[in-house]
Chain A
Amino acid sequence: MSGELSEITVEVQSGLREARRLLWAARGWEQLGGQQAGSPYQPQPHNDRARATFEAGLQVLGDDPALLHHLAVAEHARAWDLELEGSVLAPDAWRRALDIWHRLHGCPAFWQSMRERAAQLQPPVDPAVVDELRAALYGELLGIHVAFVRHYCDQGDVSRARPHVELIRQTQLPPAVHEEMPELLYAAMTGSLGDLMASQEYDQAARTIERYLEFYPDHLRALQTLAEILRDWARVTSAADDWPTVMEIAQRAGTWARELDQHEALEEAPLARLALTRLGATLARRFYRKLSQVFSDAPDTTAWIGDEHLAWADQAVRWAELAHDYDASREYMLLLSASLYLRARCATALGDTSLGLTDYQRHIQLTRRIEQEE
């Protein structure tokens, strides 16, 4: 008997707990109504209780259109609040909200109700507008995240932008919408590029593209644009007056030129190949000229040459090879030949006779080819 009573007590306590939870949810739902007697319409877009109620309802009743819509509004409003608070819960909240919008988008009964609503309005709205709205829904939802990405990137806070991009990639959305995302983001994040280039703010312009490439490292147009920016930057930077900047450009170009060089679509992208070729040639010239200047100022290499100079020669050869790989014209053959000659001199002076000899032989071969073609 005592065992039975104990069992009943546990069940009653459990039932009470459950009932309390439901009451808690039901009160929240009322708060969404927003209109108490005699007071203005000031509803809350969300609260935990109401979300719980809708969630519970959906679990039991399936995708009911009204419940889905209430939940979509509540979840999305909550996600926005969490984002503005800088909460770590924001990415998950956005993900949940987008999932609910996705379910609503695929719920014909909801859109039928919107058509009926359109007919009730004064003046009535053409029901076809509802179809346009439905078609535009994903773009508008994604637009929010694109805007947040742009906002955070403009502030230089890339870490807060990243969850928005990852969110879109992971959220259950139609493939066509996923494919739109890189282009939408590119347009949003590079909107200031024209102004930056016009005012010759190359560093900022390059950073804008580099931020984008952090998210989409294989975006061909971005890689091409970055190659063009870095090339323009290198062209206006004097090796004699601002050598550290040339080194910085080369270092930044090195990372992305490799991506572009190995890009699977490069074969069908002549403008991207041209950008890569020109970048390689411009940087090769910068390093070649710097070294040439040093050699002409002090012909006795034993007095000054060091590993740093060999590194510059390496850069000259590497960039000249890149340009030559894509365009074996006389101009780039000459550039490569001259760069090899300088590296041969540096390597020999530093005691690396093997590299010196190899480079010298390649220099001779290229020179002969140039002479033959003439």
Chain B
Amino acid sequence: MHSSPWRRGPLSRNPYYYTAFHVLRMPPSVVQRHAVRQHVLQARNLAAAMPQAHRICGELVTESEINEASEILAGGPSRLWEELVAHRPEEYITPGLQRLRERLHSLAPEAPMADDGPPLRLPALLRRWMEHLLSQQVGETTDSELVSASTYRPIPPCGGGT
């Protein structure tokens, strides 16, 4: 078994969907030995009792894949390699990430800016109207999930916009 998850399976499988965490349905935040064992047991039971219920990209997860995943996550370099190809647990917060999250999850106190333009000086009434429009746009999303448009300009969908 190769240590690196990139070279463990066939090329026709994107390894990012088949990490040991996916196979065991276990978040990377789980590190306690007994908790890992618990996930292994649950995955085995599921594969045995309801094989159709445990699939990755439409493929059934097999007993041997569960065994391999449990070996990988048992410790040692293979576990670290696995963590390298999985999104880090939520507990891993750097100052930069924290700032980004705060920005993304708070409504901007100031009004949004136009692209590269000067800060807006909107009348309070207009600002409230705009916030109302934004909350309608959000739909199921709460106000706290609105984000500051003044700081970030992510790539828009389908390549349009800035």
Chain A contacts to B: CB under 8 angstroms? 8, 10-12, 14-27, 29, 32-35, 40-43, 45-46, 48-49, 51-53, 55-57, 59-62, 64-67, 69-70, 73-74, 76-77, 80-81, 84, 109, 113-114, 117-118, 120-123, 125, 129-130, 132-133, 136, 140-141, 143-144, 147-148, 151
Further pairs besides A15-B149, A121-B79, A136-B4: 10, Cβ < 8 Å: A19-B137, A21-B154, A22-B154, A23-B137, A34-B27, A66-B93, A73-B87, A129-B77, A133-B84, A144-B7
Provided the pairs A17-B161, A77-B14, A80-B14 are in contact, do residues A121 and B31 lie with their beta carbons within 8 angstroms?
A: yes
Say yes or no for B15: interface residue by CB 8 A criterion.
yes
- Min CB–CB distance A149 → chain B (angstroms): 11
**CB nearest to A30 among chain B residues:** B145
Contact A125 B75 (CB under 8 A): yes
| Chain B positions within 8 Å of A70 at CB level | 87-88
| Chain A positions within 8 Å of B120 at CB level | 8, 11-12, 15
| Chain A positions within 8 Å of B153 at CB level | 18, 21, 56, 59
Q: Once the chains are docked, how many angstroms separate the CA of A84 from the CA of B36?
A: 32
The number of residues on chain B lying at the interface, defined by a beta carbon within 8 Å of a beta carbon of chain A, is 69
Interface mask (B101-125 → A, CB under 8 Å = 1, otherwise 0) = 0001100000111110100101000
Contact B96 A64 (CB under 8 A): yes
What DSSP secondary structure best describes chain B's contact surface?
Answer: loop
Contact B88 A69 (CB under 8 A): yes
**Contact of B77 (CB < 8 Å), options: A27, A45, A52, A132:** A132
Contact A21 B25 (CB under 8 A): no
**CB nearest to A26 among chain B residues:** B104
Contact A51 B31 (CB under 8 A): no
Closest 3 CB pairs of A and B: A64-B96, A15-B112, A52-B154
**CB nearest to A79 among chain B residues:** B14
Contact B152 A109 (CB under 8 A): no
- Min CB–CB distance A184 → chain B (angstroms): 12
Contact A27 B161 (CB under 8 A): no
| Chain B positions within 8 Å of A29 at CB level | 104
- Min CB–CB distance A354 → chain B (angstroms): 60
Q: Once the chains are docked, how many angstroms separate the CA of A81 from the CA of B117?
A: 38
Contact B154 A16 (CB under 8 A): no
- Min CB–CB distance B147 → chain A (angstroms): 4
| Chain A positions within 8 Å of B76 at CB level | 125, 129
Residue pairs across A and B with Cβ atoms less than 8 A apart, 29 shown, are A8-B126, A11-B114, A14-B117, A15-B112, A16-B134, A21-B154, A22-B154, A27-B141, A49-B157, A53-B100, A53-B104, A57-B152, A59-B152, A60-B100, A64-B96, A64-B97, A66-B93, A67-B96, A73-B16, A73-B87, A76-B85, A84-B12, A117-B80, A121-B79, A129-B76, A133-B77, A133-B84, A141-B6, A151-B11
Contact A122 B154 (CB under 8 A): no
Looking at B6, B149, B161, the one whose CB has the most chain A CB atoms below 10 A away is B149
- Min CB–CB distance A141 → chain B (angstroms): 7
Provided the pairs A122-B31, A125-B76, A140-B4 are in contact, do residues A109 and B114 lie with their beta carbons within 8 angstroms?
A: no
Looking at B95, B96, B157, the one whose CB has the most chain A CB atoms below 10 A away is B96
- Min CB–CB distance B1 → chain A (angstroms): 14
| Chain A positions within 8 Å of B92 at CB level | 66, 113, 117
What DSSP secondary structure best describes chain A's contact surface?
Answer: helix
| Chain A positions within 8 Å of B77 at CB level | 125, 129, 132-133
| Chain A positions within 8 Å of B149 at CB level | 15, 18-19, 21-22
**Contact of B112 (CB < 8 Å), options: A16, A129, A140:** A16
**CB nearest to A63 among chain B residues:** B96
| Chain A positions within 8 Å of B16 at CB level | 45-46, 73, 76-77, 80
Contact A57 B96 (CB under 8 A): yes
**Contact of B80 (CB < 8 Å), options: A8, A34, A129:** A129
Q: Once the chains are docked, how many angstroms separate the CA of A18 from the CA of B154?
A: 9
- Min CB–CB distance B22 → chain A (angstroms): 7
- Min CB–CB distance B78 → chain A (angstroms): 10
Contact A41 B22 (CB under 8 A): yes
Contact B27 A35 (CB under 8 A): yes
**CB nearest to B149 among chain A residues:** A18
- Min CB–CB distance B39 → chain A (angstroms): 9
Which residues of B, 48-72, contact A by the 8 Å Cβ criterion?
none
Say yes or no for B47: interface residue by CB 8 A criterion.
no
Contact B94 A12 (CB under 8 A): no
- Min CB–CB distance A92 → chain B (angstroms): 13
Contact B80 A133 (CB under 8 A): yes
| Chain A positions within 8 Å of B85 at CB level | 73, 76
Q: Once the chains are docked, how many angstroms separate the CA of A123 from the CA of B77?
A: 11
| Chain A positions within 8 Å of B134 at CB level | 16, 19
